[in-house]
Structure 1
Amino acid sequence: MIKLDLITGFLGAGKTTFIKIYAKYLAQSGEKVCVIENDFGAINVDMVLLKELESEGINLEMIVGGDGKEAHKRRLKTKLISMAMMGYTRVIIEPSGIFDVDEYFDLLYEDPIDRFYSASNVIAVVDSKLCTEMSKQARYILMSEVADAGAIVFSRSQYSTKDKMDSVVNFIESAMDEFKCREGLESKYISYGEWSALDSSWIDKIEKAGFSRNSYEKMHLETDDTFQTIFYFNFQMEKDELQRKISAIFSDPECGNVHRIKGIVKDNEGAVYEINTTRNELVAGVVDNTDAVLIVIGEALNKEQIAKYLGKPTI
């Protein structure tokens, strides 16, 4: 059967960066790998950021959201069925940072998915500088992503401290207690070390972590209503100016609870760069791409206020 890995993590946790390293590791180990990239909203930005994996012989497939849970589940099921016919030995699913893991396990036990795939690992990526000022809905999403994981991988640990990561662990455990999660973090493998593709010993343990089905108090959550996205197509702005405006947006409470701003942007000379930001981190780099799109993700977003910084959105 085809091994299926699920890589979870809240918005901006670092899932895409982790998958770049993890997928290459699996491919170099002889696996025929496909990554199914799924994003919250109608446009899949992270798919663009994973393009470099294709040069490693790793196939990329895409699913977009934006029109409800059932439609998304149907598209994911169809995609998995088609991938089962392609000879892959390992399929990695990267869902959006707003994802109820129960949807994944419900799908695994449906016919004919259960005849093609076996669950291998659920890996939760957690930002080592996670902002712990979260709404109840966001705490629930974070908890549910961690609850069934066999391994928890801290991202950006080189920019954090052990005390901060311990406080993040305590925060996750308190969220698990809040929603009456049966098991805590003691049953999971936790990787604190800096990510390195040169020394793969840290991935060896994660690749064998498996998963842990956990029970917890369910919260009715319609992500389409709770979390919103704002899109800017063909977005153009100088990098330094955009960075200043993004910092201002995160600092402006009238913009709403902005979790992440990411995308591919053109400067005034037509050069293309990547922007990927959370409240804790701002990353910008040159990319080889012609499609420019910027996405703002958060809760209770105020489009009019955000437009004062970025202009009128496309969607």
Structure 2
Amino acid sequence: MIKVDLITGFLGSGKTTFIKKYVRYLNSQGIKVCILENDYGAVNIDVALLEDIRSDLCGVEMIVGGDGKTAHQRRLKTKLITLAMSGYQRVIIEPSGIFDMDEFFDTLYESPLDNWYEIGSVIAIASADLEDNLSKESDYVLASEIADAGIVVLSKTEDVSDERVTKVKEHIRKALEGILVRRTDIFRSQEAFDNFFINKGSDELNDEDFKKIASAGFVHGDYEKRQLSDDKGYKSLYLFGVKLKKDELIENISKAIEDPECGHIIRIKGFAKIGDESDKGAESEGYTEINATRQKVTYNHVRGAQEVIIVIGEKLNTDMISKYFPTADFNELI
């Protein structure tokens, strides 16, 4: 049977960074892996971010939706049937945005997939720099993506204190309790809850950690389902044709995130063609990869990419955001 792992996590938690490390571990064990990027949008930045680990032992595939749950689930099933014939021993699914966990379980239990696949681990990634004052809707998303996990990898712990780690874990506990998650395995004692987490940054994870993660399994964490409302829920804005100098782009991204009139921006990620024809040097020949949260903005030069930046958040104000990206064409996805 081919094991299928699901990697969940709140926006900006570091899922893609973790996947790269996890895949390298699995490949070192001789396991042929396919990463399946499962998105409701037409553009998936994370596929480009994973290109550097594509190899004979690692494939990267993508499915998209946007035309309803049934059509999206059908495409997921079709893609998994194809992958079953391709010699992979493990499939890692990274859903982007808001993801219905029931869709994952329902699809894997359908025929003929249940003849070829079994669920391996549901692995949740949570950031140790998680915001303290998340909205009720954000706390719901955070908890729902952890509810079925066999393990939580608490990322970015290298940047925070032990007290901060404890505070974030308690935030997660309250979020889970807030949606009435029924998990006696983690709530029976403080020790059991602490053992639900691996408190290490991506660079600190070792083979023993990854072995534990790969065998963590999952739990059907029954919880109270809610419908995210359109007026308060998440939106993604796709920005095409951003033309700014690198320093100006980074400055404007920070300003947009901090500007309350733009809405509550949680993450900005993507690729931009930097500069103009007068720019010289290697950087003028490629793109700048941007990955920004409310806590940190990082950037990296890459040779090849799709020129698009995605702004993700709640109650986004397109008119205000456009002031920071004056040349961009906007496409909105709820």
TM-score range normalised by the length of the shorter chain = over 0.9
Structure 1 counterpart of 2:329: 313
Question: Following the alignment from structure 1 to structure 2, what is the Cα–Cα distance between the partners of residues 95 and 83?
Answer: 17
Structure 2 counterpart of 1:201: 208
Q: What SS is found at the alignment partner of 1:228?
A: strand
1:62 aligns to 2:77 (yes or no): no
TM-score (norm 2): 0.89
Rg (Cα) greater in structure: 2
Structure 1 counterpart of 2:259: 252
8 Å contact 1:66–1:224 — kept in the other structure? no
Q: What SS is found at the alignment partner of 1:93?
A: strand
8 Å contact 2:236–2:310 — kept in the other structure? yes
TM-score (norm 1): 0.94
Question: Following the alignment from structure 1 to structure 2, what is the Cα–Cα distance between the partners of residues 242 and 121?
Answer: 38
Instruction: Tell me: CA distance 1:223–1:5, structure 2 relative to 1, closer, same or farther (3 Å).
Output: farther
Q: Deviations over 1:29-68 (max 9, x none)?
A: 0111100012352210110000011146310001223333
Structure 2 counterpart of 1:138: 138
8 Å contact 1:230–1:313 — kept in the other structure? no
Q: Deviations over 1:221-262 (max 9, x none)?
A: 368982211112243322211111111111111101111100
Structure 2 counterpart of 1:299: 314
Percent of aligned positions with the same letter in both sequences?
46
Question: Following the alignment from structure 2 to structure 1, what is the Cα–Cα distance between the partners of residues 40 and 11?
Answer: 10
Aligned match of 2:196 in 169, 189, 195?
A: 189
Bigger Cα displacement from structure 2, 279-288 vs 199-208: 199-208
Question: Following the alignment from structure 1 to structure 2, what is the Cα–Cα distance between the partners of residues 292 and 258?
Answer: 20
Question: Following the alignment from structure 2 to structure 1, what is the Cα–Cα distance between the partners of residues 132 and 40?
Answer: 21
What is the RMSD computed on CA atoms of the aligned residues? 1.9
Question: Following the alignment from structure 1 to structure 2, what is the Cα–Cα distance between the partners of residues 230 and 44?
Answer: 12
8 Å contact 1:121–1:150 — kept in the other structure? yes
- How many residues align? The count is 315
Question: Following the alignment from structure 2 to structure 1, what is the Cα–Cα distance between the partners of residues 44 and 62?
Answer: 8
Aligned residue type for 1:96: S
8 Å contact 2:290–2:300 — kept in the other structure? yes
Q: What SS is found at the alignment partner of 2:261?
A: helix
Q: Deviations over 1:146-190 (max 9, x none)?
A: 111111001111111111111111111111111111124636531
Instruction: Tell me: CA distance 1:260–1:66, structure 2 relative to 1, closer, same or farther (3 Å).
Output: farther
8 Å contact 2:48–2:305 — kept in the other structure? no
Question: Following the alignment from structure 2 to structure 1, what is the Cα–Cα distance between the partners of residues 205 and 217?
Answer: 23
1:211 aligns to 2:218 (yes or no): yes
Report how far residue 96 of structure 1 moved.
Answer: 1.0
Instruction: Tell me: CA distance 1:97–1:9, structure 2 relative to 1, closer, same or farther (3 Å).
Output: farther
List runs of 5+ in structure 1 lacking aligned partners: none
Q: What SS is found at the alignment partner of 1:245?
A: helix
Question: Following the alignment from structure 2 to structure 1, what is the Cα–Cα distance between the partners of residues 60 and 32?
Answer: 12
Instruction: Tell me: CA distance 1:134–1:65, structure 2 relative to 1, closer, same or farther (3 Å).
Output: farther
8 Å contact 1:25–1:200 — kept in the other structure? yes
Bigger Cα displacement from structure 2, 23-32 vs 12-21: 23-32
8 Å contact 1:231–1:296 — kept in the other structure? yes
List runs of 5+ in structure 2 lacking aligned partners: none
Instruction: Tell me: CA distance 1:274–1:148, structure 2 relative to 1, closer, same or farther (3 Å).
Output: same
8 Å contact 1:234–1:291 — kept in the other structure? no
